[in-house]
Amino acid sequence: MSRISVHRGVAAAVSAAALVLVAACGSGGSSSSDGTLKVAAVIKGLDNPFFQSMEQGIKDQAQTSGTEVTVQAANSITDTTGQADKLTGLAGQDYSCYIVNPISGTNLIQGMAQLAAQKKTIVNIDSPVDAAAAKAANATPATYIGTNNVSAGEQGGRQMLTLLPGGGKVAAIGGIAGDVTSGQRIEGFGKAITGKLDLVQTVAANWERQEALTQATNIMRAQPDLKGFFVANDDMGLGVARAVATAGKAGQIKVISVDGIKDALTAVKNGELDATVAQYPYAIGAMGMEACQAAAKGATLPATVEAPVEVVTKANADQALAATPKPFGTYDDPFKTLSGS
């Protein structure tokens, strides 16, 4: 079994300064009348398989440990107002811990401020809240669990270098313009290829498959000698792969994306995608639930825990598919010990 790459952030180091007491965001709240822990989660839109896997991880861990959980989501991964309304609606209800996966860095701050005022525990997963805004609202989460997106981009860049040893022109397709997650992935990719590949164009495709297909088609017309695409998520990556195939350049233009959703793993196995940097939303969701369970026991939570990532190529795609949505290798999970799960 492979060991999945996990890098702890500085805030999650051994130093006591890197630990956050749950009391900082509260350990108050309520359990069911029978003593069962109650947790609410507000995540991004369930129209995307990535967040469907995250929901499954949350619910599976809750069921395993006998926790009562409610999961709500925005109508889409761009519905910032709708997601904020979901959290505000849950804030007045009887939950002791809230898992938040914000669409933007600030759209959930108002609801988080309500939770902090009630001494409820806040666990931030996947996309980080804006640290300055959270601090100003006295709503700093007890812990953050998510992928190091710069590192994920770097891994994608290193894989692209392996595929294009002779160099060449590449393009990057990101999500929403200004989105932190997308920007960090492209930043990491750029760092890895600097001086070795020529990044000729970077565009945004709003996390949408069809828009990514259109953008890729336009880029290939403008750059007829393009050798590769790095794409900030798999849904867009599948659109880019379709554009490459339609242009008759399958195998000639390399496509690497990020997420590790099942459709992308299948596409890698079939040779439609060259690689995906899998980041395991199932594990992120499960660890978020474990963090709530640890908080309920009065445990001290690490301020930051980086989630596992693994580059999936045709060589290990079968192994990844057999395990999906769970990681196919071992990884560090400090919350498992803290929660006793």
pLDDT of 219-229, one tens digit each?
999 999 999 99
pLDDT value at position 39? 98
Burial of 269 (0-12, 13-18, 19+ CB in 10 A): middle
Lowest mean pLDDT among 34-38, 149-153, 311-315: 34-38
- The DSSP secondary-structure symbol of 334 reads H
Domain 10-147+280-308+329-339: CATH architecture, name and number where available:
3-Layer(aba) Sandwich (3.40)
How does pLDDT run across 180-203, given as a tens digit for each residue? Answer: 889 999 999 999 999 999 999 999
The yes-or-no verdict on residue 94 having pLDDT over 50 is yes
> 149-278 maps to which CATH number?
3.40.50.2300
E strand spans, the chain? 19-21, 38-43, 68-73, 97-100, 121-125, 143-146, 169-174, 198-204, 226-231, 254-259, 275-278, 300-302, 304-306, 310-312
* Domain ranges for the chain: 10-147+280-308+329-339, 149-278
Question: Following CA atoms 55, 313, 189, 208 in sequence, which dihedral angle do they give, to the nearest 10 degrees?
Answer: -50
Is the pLDDT score of 8 beyond 70? Answer: no
Query: Would 10-147+280-308+329-339 and 149-278 be classified into the same CATH topology?
Result: yes
Return the number of other C-beta atoms located less than 10 Å from residue 94's C-beta: 12
At residue 11 the predicted structure's pLDDT band, cuts being 50, 70 and 90, is very low
> Is the pLDDT at 1 greater than 50, yes or no?
no
Residue 16 has pLDDT above 80, yes or no: no
Residue 282 has pLDDT above 90, yes or no: yes
Q: What is the pLDDT of residue 340?
A: 80
Nearest to 208 by CA among 24, 78, 36, 106: 78
For 154, phi and psi rounded to 5 degrees?
-65, -40
* Residue percentage of the chain with pLDDT more than 70: 89
Question: Does 179 have pLDDT greater than 50?
Answer: yes
Q: Write the pLDDT tens digit of every residue in 102-128.
A: 998 899 999 999 999 999 999 999 999
Mean pLDDT, rounded, of the chain: 90
pLDDT above 90 for 4:
no
User: What Cα–Cα distance (Å) separates residue 79 from each residue in 75, 90, 134, 176, 338?
Assistant: 6, 17, 20, 12, 34
Cα–Cα distance, 312 to 91 (Å, whole number): 39
pLDDT value for 34: 57
- 8-state DSSP, 4: P
Return the higher-pLDDT residue of 72 and 45. 72
